Amino acid sequence: MRTISMLLNDLRIMVKDPFAFTVLLVLPMALMGPALLNYQSSGGETLDATPLMVANYDTGQVSLDLIKELDGNLKIEQNISGDILTQYNLQADARCAQPSAACDEAVGRARLADQSRPAILIIPEGLTAAFDTGEQTPVTLLYDPGSDAIKLTQIEKVCQGLAIKVALTKQLESAKGDFTDLSSIGSPEVRAEVANITSQPAAKNNKTAIHVDEVSPSNYKEKKDPGLLETIVPGNAVMFAFVIVIFINASVRDEKQSGLIRRLLSTPMGKADFLGGKLIYGMLTIFLQACILFGLGLSIGASRGMNFQFNLPAFLLLSLALSASATTLGLLFASTKLPQSLTFAPLFIGAILGGCFMSLDMLPAYLYPLSYLMPQRYAMTGYQDLLMRNAGVAGILPEAGILLLFAVVFLGIAIWRFDLTD
């Protein structure tokens, strides 16, 4: 009961303290929000989210096959209508009276001009017919040279590769017919055998002569560089979780210096009530902070077209473990006589060595081993596993376990060291 009173009292103080509110919530949101809002397609975004305008003047099967293949790799935009036409003043254009290749080309060129799309693919009329007669007909990839070079290269290579694939497939199909024609010059036995083979339906599980099974080791973790979302959201949440170290230390020091703790010790309140109240207060604050930052970050990310996967129970478990380690570190500091300025160390040193600002791979070799001593490292790894690899509860258990182990050690030292009468 007294623990709950301590908790409610600390929460009441925090709510009435604009500085605490600003540092715990507003500041991390202010750091995270603009970066996510300014996000342009890059980093962790997958290729199939890259848009490609297609203006298809051909009505034959080859162009349709090509577009179908492209659609599996890029986000194809065709048959534009509605608000987009209005946006580019094309609603009254004769080409856009109904969805057409000419209209798509007009919209595509306008979008290239305002740099909202990197490229437009123009498929000319008669592509299929030309293909059937063996003539080479080029398709045009019109691009903005000023746009993202990596994206452009990806689009170019995908278009080239898929054009070759479609062409080869068509040629193989026609070669099959040619092979049948050539058999007419063979003996009756050969013609009968060829007729027998070509008349049989294709086997349902027609496998290649050599099949490659893709098998990865059981403990393999996919190596993937984190994108903006996977860096900035967990980075802010983990770094600012350790602000609680400063707050708890300052709060306990203020209570000691003002005589409040002496006063409380003359009441039936005990050390366990005091530490318990502070512990729950800190954990609740950090847990809510993480939920708000992730909720906001992922909402902004989703609205900017970023892709991510998310396992809620795993997130809650990891956030709980993070809040426990951060809060108990605060209690540990409060149990010492270290200067208040040193409480900033876990915040910044932990953030750097824990990978909150940059990938751990970028740390100098002599600093890298130190990262294993930082709770931030395990929280970051766990959150990035959640976002990048869709890790479930089992997937983040090692990280959550290590964070809880930190918490147990920190709390043990804090209980041992804490002297309220000091």
Give the span between the Cα atoms of 312 and 316, in whole angstroms: 6
Helices (H), 184-311: 188-199, 228-241, 243-257, 260-265, 271-303
Report how far apart, in Å, the C-alpha atoms of 201 and of each of 126, 181, 196, 377 are.
32, 19, 10, 58
| By the rule CB under 8 A, 334 interacts with another protein | no
Among 23, 84, 265, 292, binds another protein (CB under 8 A): 265
| By the rule CB under 8 A, 263 interacts with another protein | yes
Q: Based on CB atoms, which residue is closest to another protein, 17 or 65?
A: 17
Q: What angle do CA 26, 32, 36 make, to 5 degrees?
A: 140
| By the rule CB under 8 A, 267 interacts with another protein | yes
Q: Based on CB atoms, which residue is closest to another protein, 276 or 392?
A: 276
Among 145, 268, 339, 364, binds another protein (CB under 8 A): 268
Report how far apart, in Å, the C-alpha atoms of 325 and of each of 127, 140, 293, 348 are.
64, 58, 18, 16
Among 40, 42, 46, 258, binds another protein (CB under 8 A): 258
Give the span between the Cα atoms of 306 and 49, in whole angstroms: 9
Closest alpha carbon to 173 in 57, 56, 59, 61: 61
75, β-bridge pairs: 51
Q: Based on CB atoms, which residue is closest to another protein, 37 or 260?
A: 260
- How many Cα neighbours within 13 Å face the side chain of 341? 0
| By the rule CB under 8 A, 82 interacts with another protein | no
77, β-bridge pairs: 53
* Least separation in angstroms between CB 18 and another protein: 10
| By the rule CB under 8 A, 264 interacts with another protein | yes
Q: Based on CB atoms, which residue is closest to another protein, 261 or 286?
A: 261
Piece of the chain touching another protein by CB under 8 A; list 208-216, 263-271, 330-338, 366-374: 263-271
| By the rule CB under 8 A, 26 interacts with another protein | no
| By the rule CB under 8 A, 359 interacts with another protein | no
Q: Based on CB atoms, which residue is closest to another protein, 224 or 263?
A: 263
| By the rule CB under 8 A, 269 interacts with another protein | yes
Strand order across the beta sheet in which 140-143 lies: 75-77, 51-56, 119-123, 140-143
- Helix H, strand E, coil C: the string for 158-195 is HHHHHHHHHHHHHHHHHHHHHHHHHHHHCCHHHHHHHH
Number of residues that bind another protein (CB under 8 A): 20
| By the rule CB under 8 A, 250 interacts with another protein | no
Q: Based on CB atoms, which residue is closest to another protein, 5 or 59?
A: 5
Q: Based on CB atoms, which residue is closest to another protein, 63 or 251?
A: 251
Q: Based on CB atoms, which residue is closest to another protein, 157 or 263?
A: 263
| By the rule CB under 8 A, 422 interacts with another protein | no
| By the rule CB under 8 A, 191 interacts with another protein | no
Q: Treating both helix axes as pointing N-terminal to C-terminal, what angle do 344-353 and 375-389 enclose, rounded to 10 degrees?
A: 50
Report how far apart, in Å, the C-alpha atoms of 135 and of each of 129, 131, 191 are.
9, 6, 31
Q: Based on CB atoms, which residue is closest to another protein, 17 or 148?
A: 17
Among 134, 146, 188, 259, binds another protein (CB under 8 A): 259
Piece of the chain touching another protein by CB under 8 A; list 30-38, 226-234, 252-260, 404-412: 252-260
What string of DSSP letters covers 369-406?
A: GGGGG-HHHHHHHHHHHHHHH---HHHHHHHHHHHHHH
Specify the DSSP class assigned to residue 23.
Answer: I
| By the rule CB under 8 A, 17 interacts with another protein | yes
* Least separation in angstroms between CB 282 and another protein: 17
Give the span between the Cα atoms of 406 and 401, in whole angstroms: 9
Q: Which residues would be at the binding site for another protein (CB under 8 A)? A: 1-2, 5, 9, 12-13, 16-17, 258-260, 262-269, 421
